[in-house]
Structures are given as structure tokens and as C-alpha cells.
Amino acid sequence: MADTNDMVIRIRGLDNRFGEQVVHENLDLEVRRGEILGVVGGSGTGKSVLMRSILGLRRPDAGRIEVMGVDARSEDEDDRNQIERNTGVLFQDGALFSSLSVGENVQVPLKEQHPELPDTLRYELALLKVKLAGLPADAVNKLPSQLSGGMRKRAGLARALALDPPLLFLDEPTAGLDPIGAAAFDELILTLQRALGLTVFLITHDLDTLYTICDRVAVLADKRVLVNAPIEDVERFDHPWVQAYFHGPRGRAAREAGAGTMA
């Protein structure tokens, strides 16, 4: 069993409801320091709702959430700031401010957390993060509308890395990308995770991503986390959705491709 001190995220008894609809009921989850955790589940299982609950963007109906030892449901401003400083988020399609350049988008968290920094230093830091996300230097002055979908995702990733957070949340990072672009983005995430020692909470439906870069996979179904384990253990889990998802044609292809990558 892993040392509890290595648990970056710990969730116990989480409930999320929207009126009569129960999305999560008595959900438990743990995320270990330094791992890439893939979170999967069918439509309506509340993957994004879970992420928003952890980030404090949604207040759950019940349960306890700790992020790096801090109560994520706390109303204390210092607690909220500590979580915000130590987490970076890449929402779907980057969620960039359309009227700001890429560099200005990356500078938003820096301005919020470090208003004392001079403009020139903020610009240099933004340029560094843009390059770190695999974008060319000239992308820093472009508007999001001037970028391809894949480049917008990388720009969103640069913003998520602006404060050098140890914990990174990625919501469907490869959705909408062609296979080559998706594989390149997976490789980028893995390289950054290893180089920076990141813990990554990754929502995805991409089987190739699960097989190539995730240390463990958490499956959401029946309003809870069914299993949270290495993918070879998840494959054996006796549940109809798990068996259909991991043992269908795409699952078999991704497994074979992943085995080839690791060979």
C-alpha cells in the first residue's frame, strides 16, 4: 500500500447531485504523487464534474476532498490560494481568452498571483512556458484564432504551467486531434511530467493515451470509482462497461500499439 503522505488528492464519500439526478454517490479516489492518472467513464458519469469539484469550481453535496493536504471545500482564502497556486488546468480546446494574445493568456495567472513582477519579466516567463509547451517563439504574440486546434491546446498547456504547479489537470487534451497530433501531445505530457516531476490528473477517452502514458486508470461508473489501478489490472475488472471499453476492437488495437511502444 502506498504511503498516505504520497497522496496528492484524497477523496472520501463524494456526492454530486443536480436536482433529482445523482452523478456521484459515496465516491472515493486517491491520486499519488508523481503519477499520471487517467480518468475514464461513459457519457454522464461526471468526469468533468469530479475535476471541477476537486478544483473548488463546484461545491459537492457531501464528502471530503483534500488537495496536497488542504481542504478543497474550505472557504478560507489562504487555503483557496494555496490550491490555485499549486494547480494548473487545461480545459477542453484550451479555453483561452480570444481577445488576448497567447503570451497575454499565459501571463494571466502570473498577474493574479505575482502582481509585483515587472512586465518584461512576465513576458519572458510567458515566452519560456510557450516554448516549454512545444510552440514556436512567435506564437507568443498571436491570437488564439490564428492557431490550429493543436496549437491552441499547447497554448492552454503553457498557461496551465505558468505558475510551475506540481499538480496538473487535463480535460480531454487529445480530443479533436488527428492521430499524429494526439501522439505528439501524449509524448509532450509524458516528457513534461518526467522533467518537472508533475502529478497529472488526466480525463480522456483516448485509449492510446491510457496505454502509452498513464500509470494508473480510474474508471467512473455506477456513480463511483469502480477501480483505480494499472491498466493491466483494470482490463481484468469484471464489469460490462470495462470489458466493452477495453476489449473492443479499439481497445485491442491500443493495447497492441502500447505494447509496441514499450518494447
Query: Domain map of the chain by residue range?
Result: 1-68+166-231, 93-165
Dihedral, 236, 237, 241, 244 alpha carbons, nearest 10? 10
Q: What is the end-to-end Cα distance of the chain in Å, rounded?
A: 28
Encode pLDDT of 109-145 as tens digits: 999 889 999 999 999 999 999 999 999 999 999 999 9
Q: Please say if the pLDDT value at position 238 is more than 60.
A: yes
**Neighbouring residues of 210: CB distance < 8 A, sequence distance ≥ 6:** 38, 40, 204, 217, 231, 254
Rounded Cα gap, residues 180 and 79, in angstroms: 40
Chain CA centroid to CA 207, Å: 16
Q: Which string of b and e fits 210-242 if b means at least 16 CB within 10 Å?
A: bbbbbebbbbbbebbbbbbeebeebbeeeeebb
Please tell me the CATH superfamily of domain 1-68+166-231, with its number.
P-loop containing nucleotide triphosphate hydrolases (3.40.50.300)
pLDDT at 107 over 80: yes
In this structure, the chain runs to a length of 263
Confirm if 163 and 88 have CB atoms less than 8 A apart: yes
Measured between alpha carbons, how far is 151 from 93 in angstroms, rounded to an integer?
10
* 5 has a pLDDT exceeding 70: no
Grid cell in block for residue 86: 499549486
Amino acid at 177: L
pLDDT tens digit sequence for 59-81: 999 999 999 999 998 888 889 88
pLDDT the model gives residue 257: 76
Residue 62 backbone phi and psi in degrees, to 5: -165, 165
Question: pTM for the full model?
Answer: 0.92
CA 28 vs CA 9, 25, 62, 250: distances in Å? 10, 9, 12, 29
Q: What is the pLDDT of residues 158-213, one digit of tens each?
A: 999 999 999 999 999 999 999 999 999 999 999 999 999 999 999 999 999 999 99
Question: Do 194 and 182 touch, CB atoms closer than 8 A?
Answer: no
pLDDT in tens, 45-56: 999 999 999 998
Residue 205 CA, distance from chain mean position: 13
Residue pair 204/173 in contact by the 8 Å Cβ criterion: yes
Q: What secondary structure letter does DSSP report for 20?
A: T
Measure the CA–CA gap between 211 and 252, rounded to whole angstroms. Answer: 11
